[in-house]
């Protein structure tokens, strides 16, 4: 029987067509309820008469739609509260079981793929989740995977920037959705996994933990809540990602978890204690997970260790030093990290360093006694020589203002002053020289 108001037939499934803002509704309607996916049959929305009540929350945990009313459904049209009209169409039975890669039979394949979009390749059609996708390394990774034909689930706190990245990725001709997510909230990471699985017809192939923040300053002069936020994002955020991804990987028998670490995972970063605690903790987390996954040879945990990258992180992060912060040289292109992630997705490897400085830091962490002391001296010296600046919590508790981008513009800067979170990068070179000098008996 067809509902005369909504136009939907009992027992049939209906989806919102992929037109304006449809990425907000990746699931399906059936019998007056809205579900995220066939494997996740817990309704998150309802049709009451013609009113569509959608239980969706933003990064702060607040309802996206006033009174949870997303709009009205009449005559197979979803009209949102802002007036946007979205078409609704019935899902054919054959489409509900079609594999992700077999889209030509479902009519979902683009008739003329755009230039640069691969028709074949090892990542073609793979479902890839990227956290921290709104800027820096995450944004570069989104571009890299999009142009390899992967289907992307983009996550970050900054909704506006996230949808900019979504547009950039779909310009490559691939499919993508954007899901506003704060990785410090359990429910939002769980919702991200649920919507990603629905987008992937029950499957996620690659999960990239990349969201990160930082706070620089004397340990006791940096507010405790700032330390906590760094650890909640940089360590617990990764743990939450692994916690929701691994059960899916085990159920499907394969999957790749990629974690963005740092040269700071080997060399402690004085004046960024919470950052160091997070990055050192991630090494332990990933090693422990590998130990638990020995019975699953097709599930991989890959660590990426970048050197100092030219991202907006130094500009946007928390700064409690009273001085301006700039990264040290050499500063590398974030796209190098994105390429390393793609390489791991194609041929997984446990550890990948990006940039010669990262490799030096790894070596020096084993060879140079007292390296953190040297790093602390260099960092303190660099900070004190830098111009005065106001203290700021930066992007710790909310997305930064201003234009988001991949690059931070540091490679174009003429300022060579080594002010940094990771002053250890400079200490590595000095430390290696020390190890080769004669030692007293």
Residues known to be catalytic: 275
- Measured in degrees and rounded to the nearest 5, phi and psi for residue 116 equal 95, -10
> At 371, which helix (H) or strand (E)?
helix 371-384
- Alpha-carbon span 76 to 356, nearest angstrom: 57
- Alpha-carbon span 273 to 379, nearest angstrom: 13
- Please, what's the b/e burial string for 404-425 (b: 16 or more CB within 10 A of its CB; e: otherwise)? bbbbbebeeeeeeebbbbbbbb
* Tokens read off for 123: 């990542």
- Please, what's the b/e burial string for 44-74 (b: 16 or more CB within 10 A of its CB; e: otherwise)? bbebeeeebbbebbebeeeeebeebebbbbb
Q: Which residues does residue 154 pair with via DSSP β-bridges, in sequence order?
A: 130, 178
- Alpha-carbon span 358 to 427, nearest angstrom: 12
Contacts of 262 by beta carbon, 8 Å cutoff, 6+ apart: 275, 279, 305, 306, 422
What is the maximum span of the chain, computed from C-alpha positions, in angstroms?
92
């Amino acid at each position: 029987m067809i509902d005369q108001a909504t136009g939907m037939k009992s027992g049939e499934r209906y989806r919102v067509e992929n037109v304006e803002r449809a990425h907000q509704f990746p699931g399906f309607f059936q019998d007056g309820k809205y579900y995220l996916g066939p494997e996740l049959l817990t309704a998150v929305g309802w049709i009451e008469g013609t009113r569509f009540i959608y239980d969706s929350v933003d990064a702060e945990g607040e309802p996206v739609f006033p009174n949870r009313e997303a709009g009205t459904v009449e005559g197979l049209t979803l009209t949102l509260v802002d007036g946007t009209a979205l078409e609704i169409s019935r899902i054919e039975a054959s489409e509900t079981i079609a594999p992700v890669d077999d889209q030509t039979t479902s009519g979902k394949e683009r008739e003329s793929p755009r230039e640069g979009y691969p028709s074949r390749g090892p990542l073609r059609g793979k479902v890839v989740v990227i956290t921290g996708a709104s800027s820096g390394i995450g944004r570069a990774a989104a571009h890299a995977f999009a142009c390899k034909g992967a289907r992307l689930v983009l996550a970050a706190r900054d909704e506006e920037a996230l949808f900019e990245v979504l547009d950039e990725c779909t310009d490559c001709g691939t499919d993508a959705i954007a899901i506003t997510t704060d990785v410090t909230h359990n429910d939002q990471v769980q919702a991200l996994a649920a919507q990603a699985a629905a987008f992937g017809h029950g499957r996620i192939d690659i999960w990239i933990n990349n969201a990160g923040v930082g706070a620089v300053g004397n340990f006791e002069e940096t507010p405790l809540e700032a330390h906590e936020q760094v650890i909640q994002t940089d360590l617990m955020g990764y743990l939450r990602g692994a916690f929701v991804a691994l059960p899916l990987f085990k159920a499907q028998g394969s999957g790749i978890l990629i974690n963005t670490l740092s040269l700071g995972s080997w060399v402690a970063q004085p004046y960024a204690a919470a950052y160091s605690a997070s990055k050192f903790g991630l090494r332990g987390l990933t090693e422990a997970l590998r130990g638990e996954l020995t019975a699953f040879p097709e599930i991989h945990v890959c660590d990426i260790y970048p050197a100092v990258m030219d991202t907006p992180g130094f500009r946007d992060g928390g700064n409690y030093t009273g001085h301006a912060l700039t990264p040290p040289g050499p500063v590398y292109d974030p796209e190098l990290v994105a390429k390393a992630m793609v390489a791991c997705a194609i041929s997984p490897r446990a550890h990948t360093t990006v940039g010669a400085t990262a490799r030096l830091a790894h070596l020096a962490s084993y060879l140079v006694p007292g390296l953190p002391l040297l790093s602390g001296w260099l960092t303190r010296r660099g900070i004190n020589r830098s111009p005065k600046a106001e203290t700021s919590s930066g992007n710790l508790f909310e997305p930064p203002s201003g234009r988001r981008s991949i690059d931070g513009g540091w490679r174009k800067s003429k300022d060579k002053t080594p002010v940094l979170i990771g002053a250890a990068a400079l200490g590595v070179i000095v430390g290696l020289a020390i190890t080769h000098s004669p030692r007293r008996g």
